[in-house]
Amino acid sequence: MVRKGWNLGSLVCRVGSPGFYLKMLAQESIVSSPGKVILHGEHAVVHGKVALAVGLNLRTFLRIRCSKHGKVLLNLPNLGTCLNWEVATLQTLKTAFPADSDGPKSPSPEQIAALKVFVGIASESADTENLAVLAFLYLYLSIGAKYRALPSLEIIVWSELPTGAGLGSSAAYNVSMAAALLMAHGAVGFPAQEEAESARWTAEELNLINTWAFQGEKIIHGNPSGVDNAVGTWGGALRYHAGKITSLERVPKLRILLTNTKVPRSTKLLVAGVKDKVLKFPNILNPVLSSIDAISQECERVLKEVNQNPSADCYTVLEELFDINQHHLNVLGVGHPSLDRLCQVTASHGLHSKLTGAGGGGCGITLLRPDVDPAVVEAAKQQLKACGYECWETHIGAPGISLHVFSALREEVQKVFQTFEKAEL
């Protein structure tokens, strides 16, 4: 099957032909993955409960160039980080990443320790920004061990998402990285360009991308459920339950006001805190997790009803579910005064909010009814901005991992990559 997939001159070549991968070594590709909003189920989903999550119309873009200069360049402008290594130096880590015929595996403590020593990160460091470098190295070396090659690469990752704010920035990073590295090894092909600006992979290839991305999330989240990388891979609206992913068909175009409290926090530490609390108070908190599970399932039922015959009662139920879940998340210990303030401000305008993602600061979501008075929304936004928060209306259901033709990217995104065109090795 002849496919296009190139940004430069739309090189046309036959996937799988010997010349195909040689051309890959000289060319570049740009992929992107969406952020996400969890409607219900954050934290409970780590403990086997149902979560409902949707793709967000803010994306992380990754440009990969295979080259022959014998180096690996990792440029992360959102973190102000730009690192490069000789491939020969990375080869020294092969002992921790032996050739492996199996598929994706969880990072071992020994591999993490070896990577931390290699990068020079103190073992007890909780600095989440370093985790991006560890996640990249883990994926580069593990996928290289699987496909028996450590290619010379230049990778730049740039995101529209606020990092560490609960919108799945780590998952969008890991999904984009997994897709790009698998492409570099020819483990996933170049999808037919259905639309001018992006293209998508087969179900089997998406599963492979998602499974590798999940390994990267284990480095950044510690004990992730997998819901975030699932949304980053498939996009749309998903029901996630213990690894089972169900696309929610025809989810209504819920109007959501997204608010970033800008309070930094670490998903890894928040997830670990909830686990410790559940272990300490199982009889108190397991019922809370079960109640959140029921909230997710009731929300799913109501969303279907909204589709069939939208009524005011449906939105009243959705608002009540937001309120109940927010209280449960406070009980789990992942609330924050900034999120309480967000809920109070919107409640004073008759709107209902809850945190989204790991909590502890970061982002909250406010449900907007289709017939809400725009003046009410504007008044709430002004008051939230006066709190120092950033808020914007968004729509949900963005597409998952996609391959882009450079010329079809939004000009702003093109400019970002052109800015780094001359990245020094």
Ligand X SMILES: C[C@@](O)(CCO)CC(=O)[O-]
Q: Determine if 169 is a binding residue for ligand ATP (CB under 6 A).
A: yes
Residues of span 158-177 touching Mg ion by CB under 5 A: 170
CB count, 10 Å around CB of 184?
25
The Cα angle at residue 358 between residues 300 and 351, in degrees rounded to 5:
55
Q: Determine if 27 is a binding residue for Mg ion (CB under 5 A).
A: no
Q: Which of these ranges, 38-46, 129-137, 155-163, 391-399, lies near ligand X under the rule CB under 6 A? A: 38-46
Beta bridge partners of 334: none
CB burial of residue 100 (10 Å; 0-12, 13-18, 19+): middle
Q: Determine if 55 is a binding residue for ligand ATP (CB under 6 A).
A: no
| Unique residue bearing structure tokens 């169900």 | 246
For residue 316, what are the CA distances in angstroms to 295, 347, 351, 368?
14, 13, 10, 11
**From 33, 159, 170, 176, the catalytic residue:** 170
Residues of span 330-389 touching ligand X by CB under 6 A: 357-358
**From 176, 228, 266, 296, the catalytic residue:** 228
Beta bridge partners of 30: 63, 404
Binding residue for ligand X, selected from 63, 218, 221, 336, defined by CB under 6 A = 221
Residues of span 109-138 touching ligand ATP by CB under 6 A: 128-129, 131-132
For the bound state, the minimum distance from the C-beta of residue 48 to ligand X, rounded and expressed in Å, comes to 11
Token pair of 389, please?
């928060």
Residues of span 209-228 touching ligand ATP by CB under 6 A: 220-221, 228
Closer residue to ligand ATP, CB minimum distance, 228 or 383: 228
DSSP string, 221-274: HSS--SHHHHHHHHBSEEEEETTEEEEPTT----EEEEEE------HHHHHHHH
Rounded Cα distance, 286 and 289, in Å: 5
Binding residue for ligand ATP, selected from 358, 380, 384, 416, defined by CB under 6 A = 358
Q: Determine if 65 is a binding residue for ligand X (CB under 6 A).
A: no
Torsion (CA) 176, 163, 244, 209 in degrees, nearest 10 = 10
Is 228 assigned a catalytic role? yes
For residue 132, the partner it binds in Mg ion, ligand ATP, ligand X, none, with Cβ less than 5 to 8 A by kind, is: ligand ATP
# of chain residues touching ligand ATP (CB under 6 A): 27
| Unique residue bearing structure tokens 């600095």 | 127
Q: Which of these ranges, 8-16, 168-176, 388-396, 401-409, lies near ligand ATP under the rule CB under 6 A? A: 168-176
Residues of span 256-285 touching ligand ATP by CB under 6 A: 266-267
